[in-house]
Amino acid sequence: MRTDLRLALLLTRGSDRREWWRVALTAVGAGLATGFMLAAAAVASLQGRYHVSIGNGLLDQPGERSGIVLALLLLLVPVLGFLGQCARIGAVHRDRRLAGLRLAGASPAQVRRIAALETGLACLAGSAVTTVFSVLLVLGEWRNPPALAWAGFAGIAVAVPLLGALVSTLALRRVVASPLGWVRRVRPSRGRGPGATFLGAALVILVVGLFTAPVTFGGFDTAPALVFGVVILTGVGAVWVTGAAARLTGRRLAARTGNPATLIAAERLRDDPWAAARTHAAVLLVTVVGTGFTGIGQVLLDELNGRDRDSLAADISFYATGVNLTGAAILVALAITLSGLAVGTAESLATRRRGLAAQAAAGVPYAVLGQALLLETALPLAPAVALAGAGGMAISTWYAWLAAGGGTVPLLPLLVPVAVYAACLLAAATSLPLLRRSVHPTELRFT
């Protein structure tokens, strides 16, 4: 392990400009993860009633603080996905260097371990910077921080680099570098994919939520476990639909279309349909949560504004601040998810740059390749986003029916899937400049 760590440090220090972009993105992701975890640790260290000058009272009670801690920890999901995408694209860019390690006698597992340690070093840099600024912020705003907060800070500063290396190892588990300089991905066996397994797990969560809601949370009207189970069930179902739709779309279009861009995209989807499901998983979950929250927030604020101020347990600004902070957290998750989608698209281009250069050399126009790139995202994502939006809309309708006794269903959530779909296409379009560089004839030297 010491030899692998030393090699990883030497390879990181000798990185070129492209590699430093990967290191910077990984450090940013690690910094975000560290910031969310440090904030959660600081909030969790507050015990009992504690008057906090920020948040309009949201941090004063233990119940509200637990919800904030949960929201901060849930933001780690898109961050970990972003780190995984960074690790994958980094491994492809280092194919010739990994092949050199294989020629020197390294095993495939050792090569993946060295690449994971490189990611861990980048995560260590991002985590250290965020931790230093967070400590300075706490010392400036908090007079007597409890010892529990410092213990949490120290543990998180060590855990994030280890977690980043672990995520990188999982992301690279199917990457094999050969001594001849090729990098290939071992595709999963053909079949229904992982959707059925995850769907069964989600059904278990849903059933547990149904049985525990009346006992644990005092009724179905305030059953967060039930809502969580519905979100997971719909999100996982959307992921399964993405892979299934990608395979079906690829087969149908490849046999019927005459458009060159559509044909290229269809062949790519048919070749590896679950790549889209892996990349779009976080997008679909954010769509479910965002659509459901938009309707719930609108109904909640309308109901509170219609009540007498004296009948409320707290000032209206207390509830408005909670809704606004939740919306901000969802927007942050969406931004991180879109960044991961852009990185995933870039990783796909980097993997196929030699094939793309060969297509361009054979006479395929750049415009056709660009359209095919966008269609690879647009075709499988459309039905999945529609299903995710329907699940979020069902949550909004259910809450509106419970809150208002069958009142008006909000229509604003219908715009969320459309906005997310358009944002995903824009994120995929950010890789078009990389496509122009990938089709350069010099890439044919390594074929």
Let me know whether 316 and 423 are in one domain: yes
E strand or H helix at 175, and its extent? strand 175-177
Considering the domain boundaries, does residue 398 fall inside one? yes
E strand or H helix at 40, and its extent? helix 17-44
Let me know whether 15 and 119 are in one domain: yes
Residue 77 contacts residue 138 (beta carbons within 8 Å) = no
Let me know whether 223 and 358 are in one domain: yes
Q: Where are the alpha helices (DSSP H) in 257-362?
A: 260-271, 274-305, 316-351, 353-361
Q: Of 184, 210, 238, which closes a domain? A: 184
Let me know whether 45 and 76 are in one domain: yes
Residues 6+ apart with CB under 8 A from 247: 269, 270, 273
Top mean pLDDT of 8-22, 175-189, 230-244 is at: 8-22
Residue 95: both structure tokens together: 């194919």
State how far the Cα of 240 lies from the Cα of 381, in Å rounded to an integer: 11
Q: Where are the alpha helices (DSSP H) in 94-194?
A: 95-103, 108-141, 147-171
State how far the Cα of 427 lies from the Cα of 421, in Å rounded to an integer: 10
Helices 274-305 + 366-404 axis angle, to 10? 40
Residue 357 contacts residue 439 (beta carbons within 8 Å) = yes
Place of tokens 């190892």: 169
Residue 311 contacts residue 52 (beta carbons within 8 Å) = no
Let me know whether 216 and 321 are in one domain: yes
Residue 195 has pLDDT above 50, yes or no: no
Considering the domain boundaries, does residue 190 fall inside one? no
Q: What is the pLDDT of residue 211?
A: 53
Residue 127 contacts residue 30 (beta carbons within 8 Å) = yes
Q: What is the pLDDT of residues 116-154, one digit of tens each?
A: 788 888 888 999 999 999 999 888 877 778 888 888 899
Q: Of 132, 164, 184, which closes a domain? A: 184
Helices 62-74 + 316-351 axis angle, to 10? 10
Domain that residue 252 falls in: 195-446
Q: Of 137, 156, 184, which closes a domain? A: 184
The DSSP code for 183 is E
Amino acid letter for position 328: A
Lowest mean per-residue pLDDT among 26-35, 167-176, 185-194, 247-256: 185-194
Q: What is the pLDDT of residues 19-41, one digit of tens each?
A: 777 788 888 988 998 999 998 88
Residue 181: both structure tokens together: 């300089």
Q: What is the pLDDT of residues 376-401, one digit of tens each?
A: 888 888 888 888 888 888 888 888 88
Residues 6+ apart with CB under 8 A from 170: 84
Is the pTM here over 0.85, yes or no?
A: no
